Structure 1
Amino acid sequence: MIDIGFTFGVAIYGMIWFVTLFTVLPFGVVTQDEAGDVEPGSPGSAPANVRIGRKLLITTFISSVLFIIVYWLLTSDILVGI
């Protein structure tokens, strides 16, 4: 059983959050070429509508669930027998 303090918990949550963010970012991306509306001066592969706020909320929700699982695994005696 590991004692997880506030700082250690925030560090674990931050790592989980950033890994989850980089996993969620490519979902639902439509390029400007695919949308048929390329802004002058930008590459056609640039995203047409990023919706970053929605992706940040999804990332926060998923990483919170994952953090709860990791916290439970680290603070319980389940990992002792492994």
Structure 2
Amino acid sequence: MEWTSIVAIYALFWVVSAFIMLPFGVQTHDEAGIEKIPGQADSAPANFRPGLIAKRATILAAVFTTVYVLNYAYGWVEARDLIFWGPTVR
């Protein structure tokens, strides 16, 4: 596998991981016991930390990319293993 392919796969996993990490560890102002600003949405986060989300996404994407590349190299799960119905190819 080319290194550029690995970088592209890592970037895709990073974006997906960032979206997965968004709701974890975030509290609303009501949950945190902080007074809201007039006109503020009830669901607005009180403690949004994009740096922490980026760190978590980086670690998770690295793990996913490593597993993906190792699976590509060693062939643990192949496309034919994912056919759950229909004609079987042996």
The alignment's TM-score, normalised by the length of structure 1, stands at 0.81
Deviates more, 1:63-72 or 1:27-36: 27-36
- Greater relative CO (CA pairs within 8 A, separation 6+): 1
Structure 1 spans left out of the alignment, 5+ residues:
none
* TM-score normalised to structure 2 length: 0.75
| Backbone CA RMSD of aligned residues | 1.8
**What secondary structure is seen at the aligned counterpart in 1 of 2:44?**
coil
TM-superposed CA distance for 1:79, in Å, is 3.7
The reply to whether residue 27 of structure 1 matches residue 24 of structure 2 is: yes
Question: Match for residue 55 of structure 2?
Answer: 57
For residues 27-74 of structure 1, the C-alpha deviation after alignment (integer angstroms, 9 at most, x for no partner) is 011112323321234212110010111111011011101111111001
- Percent identity reads 35
Select the structure that is richer in helix: 1
Distance 1:49 1:79 in 2: 40
